[in-house]
Amino acid sequence: MKHYLIDTHAHLYDEAFDKDRRDIVFNAHKAGIKKILMPNIDSTTIDGMLALCKKYPQNIFPMMGLHPTSVEDDFENELEIVKQWLDKEKFVAIGEIGLDLYWDKTFFEEQIKALEFQIDLAIEHQLPVVIHCRDAFDEIFEVFDRKFKPGLKGVFHSFTGDLLQANKIINDYGFSLGINGIVTFKKSNLTDVLSNIDLKHIIIETDAPYLAPEPKRGQRNESSYMFYTARKIADIYGKDIQGISEATTNNVYELFNLNRYEQ
C-alpha cells in the first residue's frame, strides 16, 4: 500500500509560482504529497511544464492537451501540436480538455470539435482523459454519448455537479470524480454528493494555483494544501488520512496507469 497522496491536477508551471517553485515542490513532499500530475493548457505552457517534469522525474508527471478556454481561431494548429507531442513523448493523460461555457461561448463549436478530436487521440494512444467542465455537463454528456468507446477512461476534474450527474459520470462512462478544495467550502454541495458515492470513484487534486481550500481560501493554492481537502474527505467517509491516502492513491495508479509511466 502507498501511504501518500497524489495531487492529480496542479499547474505548477504557472507564473504564480515563478518566485518559489522549488519551495512549492518541497512543501508538497513534506506534506505527504509525493507525486503531482500536471495538465497542459496550450502550446505556450508545454516548455515550462516539461522542464519541470524533467527536473523532478520521479515526482512530477505531464499530460498533453488543449484547454477549452484556449480554443480560438487557431485551434486546429494547436491540436496538431498536441498530436505531434503525443507521438514523441510519454504522457500520463490527455488533458486538460473539455468544454467551458462560463467565460465565453464565442468558440463553442470549435470547443466541441477540439474535445472530439482529443477523445479520439486518447482512444488511439490508450490514455485517460482529464475533463474540464464548466457550465457544460449536458453538452459534454452529448459529446460522450457520441464518442465514448469501451476502454476510454478518465476523470471529471474539479467536479462540482449534483448526485445525478455524478452517477451518470460513474455508471455510464466509468469515469472518476476529481475533488479539490471546493469540498471544504461552506456552500458546497459536495459533502452530500460524496456521501452517496463509493470512495473507489474519487481522486484528489488542487487545481493550484486556483481554488485553495479552507482555511487557505483566497490565497494562492499549492499542492501541500491538498492535505486540507484530504482531511475533509476523510471526515465524509469516516476514515483517517492514511485510509484516504491508500484508497485515492490506488485509484490514481489504476486510472492513470502510473506503473507504466514510471517504468
Residues 12-47: tens digit of each pLDDT: 999 999 999 999 999 999 999 999 999 999 999 999
Residue 154's SS3 state is strand
Calpha distance 235→141 (Å, rounded): 31
Q: Domain residue spans in the chain?
A: 5-262
- Position 263 scores a pLDDT of 60
- Position 138 scores a pLDDT of 97
Which residue pairs from 209-214 have beta carbons closer than 8 angstroms and sit at least 24 positions apart in sequence?
209/11, 209/14, 209/16, 209/17, 210/11, 211/158, 211/180, 211/181, 211/182, 212/181, 213/180, 213/181, 213/182, 213/183, 213/184, 213/185, 214/181, 214/184, 214/185, 214/186
CATH architecture of the domain 5-262 equals Alpha-Beta Barrel (3.20)
Nearest to 128 by CA among 19, 213, 4, 251: 251
Residues 122-165: tens digit of each pLDDT: 999 999 999 999 999 999 999 999 999 999 999 999 999 999 99
Residues 175-186: tens digit of each pLDDT: 999 999 999 999
Query: Looking only at Cα atoms, what is the longest distance across the chain?
Result: 49
